[in-house]
Amino acid sequence: MKSPQSPQPPQPSSKPKPPQSKLMTQIHQLTQVVNGVLKINPKEHVPKLEVRRSQKDKPEIYDLVGDRYILGRSTGKCDIVVQTPLVSQVHAQLVRDRTQKKSQFILQDRDSTNGIYRNKQRLKSVPLRHKMTITLGPPELVEAATIRYLDPPPWYIRTLQYTGIGIGAIAGTIVLAIAFEVNRVPDLKPLPVTQQGPVEVLAGDGLKRLDPTDIANHTEYANLGEFGQFIPKAVIASEDTSFYWNIGVDPIGVARAIVTNVRSRGERLEGASTITQQLSRNLLGKTYVGTDDSAGRKWREAAAAIKLTFTYHKDEILRLYLNRAYTGNGVYGFKDAAKLYFGKEASELTLSEAATLVGLLPSPETINPFKNKNLAIEYRDRILNRMAELGMITDKDAERARRSVLILNESAKTKLQGSVAPYYYSYVFEELQDILGDNFAREGNLIVETNLDIDMQKASDDSLRNAVARDGSSYGFSQGAIVTLNASNGSLLAMTGGVDYKASQFNRAAQALRQPGSTFKLFTYAAAVDRGISPSSTYSCNALAGVAGCHNGGSGAIDMYRGFALSENVVAVRIADATGFDNVVKMARTLGITAKLDATSNMVLGGNEVKILEMAGAYATVVNEGKYNKPHAIKRILDSADCQNPKDRQTCRVIFDASTFLKPRQAIDAGVASTMVDMMRGVVQYGTGRSAAIPQGTVVGKTGTTDEGRDLWFIGAVPRRNLVAAIWLGNDEGVTNGSSAVAAQVWGDYMRLAVR
C-alpha cells in the first residue's frame, strides 16, 4: 500500500510564474520531482505522522511538508483520511506554529463528536512532541484510531542528550557511592589521637643512633596565626589553590592530573591530592584510609577528606596540616622545620625562607637544603612565582625574595653532615620509602634497625679519603665510592658515597650510573658456563673488528680461566658470541642488574652504565653459591607508636623484618657459581687484581677499567668472611690517567683495616 502523498505543487509551464506563496517555496525546497512524481528530498528533515486505524492495522506514514492538514473521514474535505466509525467527517486539524524558534505542529479538535485524547484526557488542542501518541476517540474503545507524531532531533542533539543522560547517571552513581563511603568514615570529633614522632635510625649494634637531629620532642602551634603570614599562603599556592572553596577534593585538579598523566605517557606523573586529603591520610592512615598505593586508598582518602571538610573549619584543617607535614630529616611540621633549617620560629621566617620550606613538600629528602641547596632554591623560586601568579604577593616581593641569600642553620647542618655514616643514613630513607611507600614512611613514629657496621664504615670512609689524598692527583681522580655487603644475606654493612659529604651529598654508591668496564665480564662468563660451555674451552686471541687482540700481542688461543684473569676483551666478545648476547643480558638480570643493557659487544666490555650497589649484589650472589639476596640497609622496622612498654623497643610491633620479607633466590646453579669463584681467584693470584691480595685470607675478584680510564673498578670478596666490597674511583666529570690496579690497591688497603 502506497503512503498517501502530500498535495503536489503546480507543474512548470511556459507562462510567466506568479509570485509563489511561502508554503509553495518551502515545498520546493523540501521536495524534488523524480520521473514526474513529487518526492521528499532525502537530505531534508521532515516531520511525519503515523496513522493507525486500529491496533490490528499497519500504520500509514504521512510527510508533513505543509503548514496545515485536515484529519477526518471525509475524502473530499480531509488531507489525511482516517475512515473509522469513531472519527468525524472533519475531526481535527494539524497546524504548524511558526512563532516558536523551532516550528512545531499543534493538533486541534474541530468540534468532533468523540474528541482527541492523550492518556485518557480529552483535549481541545495539544502541541506535538516527538513520539507523542494521540487517540481519535476515547482510548478505551477498540475502534479508536491513533496517530503518532515523529520529529526526532538531529543526530548531534540526540548525541548531546544521551551524553547528558549518561553523565547524569554516572554523576548520580558517584554521588551515591561517595555518600555511602562518607558514612563509613570513622567519627572525626574528637580528632583521632595521632602522634608525629621521630624516625629513629639505629646502627647494626642496636645502640648507636644515626639520626643527627634532636627530634624526640615534637611540638605544635595552637593557632594558625603562629605560622606567620607566609607559610600558609605558600602551602596553598603549592599544594591546593582551591583549598578554601573545595569540599576536600578538587575535581578540576583530578581532571587536570589525568590529562597531564595521559599526555606524558608516564614520563611525568602528576598527583591531585588536596591539603585535606593529605591530612586525612595522616589522621586515618592506619585505621581507615590505608597506606598502600591503590585506587581503593585514594577513594577512602577522598571520602575522609569530604567528611573532614564538613566537620571542621578550613583554618583548623590548615593548622593541623602545617603542624604535621613531613619536612625531611625526620622532622614534622613547619614549627620544627623552621627551627631545624633556619634556627627560628615559623612566624619569624622571611618570604624566601618560608617558600624554601614549603618547596620541600614534594620530596623532603631530595630537595633538602642541607643536602642540595641549589635544588632547594629552584623549588623556592617555583613557589614564589606561583604565589605571585595567584596575587598572594606582588611581583616585586617575589623578585626581592628570589634575590635574597639563603642563610641556613649551620650548626644543625654541621651536626647532620657530621653523622657517623651520612651517605648510609641518607640511603636508609630511600630504602624506607621503597619498603613502606612514600606516605607511610612520612608518618614517623618508626624505629629503623640497620645493618651498619660502624667500624667497617669508618674503615671504608678512611680508605677512600686516604686514596684520593695519596693517589688522586697522580692518577687524576677526585671521587670514589665503596659498597660493602655480607654475601650470605645481602646486608649492607657500609656505604661510602663520596669523599666528603659536606662538599657533595650525591651518593655515588647508590645513585650514580657508571660504566663497569671489565667487571661486567662476570655475566658473560657465567652465562657461558651456565649454558654448558666448559671453562677449559679455548678462544682465539686474534683481533676482531673493533676489538684488539690479547695483551701479549700474540695469536694462538687461551682458555676461559686465563682470559678472565687477564681480562682479555677479544676473548670475552668471542665467548659472548658463542653464548648469545641475549643470554648475557638475561644473566645480568638474574643477578640483579636493572639498568638498560644493549645486547652488543659494547655491553660485554662494560660500555653500559650500571649502579655500583647492584654490581656488588651480583658478585655477592656468585660468592654465596648462586643464591641472590637483595642488598639492603634495613634489618627491621618497628612501630614506636605501638609498644607494650614504650621504654623497651623490643615490645614494639614489628612492621618489617628483612629475614622474613627478603627471601634468598637461587639465581644460578651452585656449580656455575663455584666455577666463577675459581676464575675470580685467578684474577688476584696471577691476573690484573694482584694488588688486592691481603694476608688475612684468600681474595677473589675482578678489575675493570673503561675507555681513557674514566672509571676504575675492583669488586672483590673474602669468601671465608662472606665479605664483598665494590670500589669505584674516578671523577663526576672527566677521565683519569690511572688503571684498575689502583682500585684493587685501595680495595686491599680497605680490607686490611676491615677484617683485622
Coil/strand/helix, residue 148: strand
Residues 6+ away with beta carbon under 8 Å from 724: 484, 485, 486, 487, 616, 619, 620, 623, 715, 716, 717
* Residue tagged 502530500 (cell numbers): 6
pLDDT value for 660: 92
What pLDDT digit, counting tens, does each position of 187-202 carry? 888 776 555 567 788 9
* Cα 723 to Cα 721: distance, rounded to the nearest angstrom: 5
* Cα 105 to Cα 129: distance, rounded to the nearest angstrom: 8
pLDDT value for 43: 63
Given the candidates 3.10.350.10, 2.60.200.20, 1.10.3720.10, 3.40.50.300, the CATH classification of the domain at 1-152 is 2.60.200.20
91, 167, 97: which is closest to 129 by C-alpha? 97
pLDDT value for 194: 58
Which fold would CATH assign to domain 456-629+664-754? Beta-lactamase (3.40.710)
pLDDT value for 732: 92
Please report, for the chain, the start and end positions of each structural domain, with discontinuous segments joined by +: 1-152, 154-179, 180-427, 456-629+664-754
pLDDT value for 255: 63
pLDDT value for 711: 96
Specify the pTM: 0.62
Query: Does domain 180-427 match CATH 1.10.1040.10?
Result: no
Is it the case that residue 176 has pLDDT exceeding 90? no
**What pLDDT band is residue 39 in, cutting at 50, 70 and 90?**
low
pLDDT value for 296: 76
Cis peptide, bond prior to residue 198, ω within 30 of zero: no
497, 485, 601: which is closest to 543 by C-alpha? 601
What pLDDT digit, counting tens, does each position of 221-236 carry? 999 999 999 999 999 9
3-state SS string for 385-450? HHHHHCCCCCHHHHHHHHCCCCCCCHHHHHHHHCCCCHHHHHHHHHHHHHHHCHHHHCCCCEEEEE
**What pLDDT band is residue 418 in, cutting at 50, 70 and 90?**
low
* Residue tagged 637544603 (cell numbers): 369
Q: Which three cell numbers stand for residue 663?
A: 627471601
What pLDDT digit, counting tens, does each position of 234-279 carry? 999 999 999 999 988 887 766 665 555 555 554 444 456 899 998 9
pLDDT value for 323: 92
Count CB atoms within 10 A of the CB of residue 545: 6
Is it the case that residue 630 has pLDDT exceeding 80? yes
**What pLDDT band is residue 670 in, cutting at 50, 70 and 90?**
very high
Q: Are 709 and 743 in contact (CB under 8 A)?
A: no
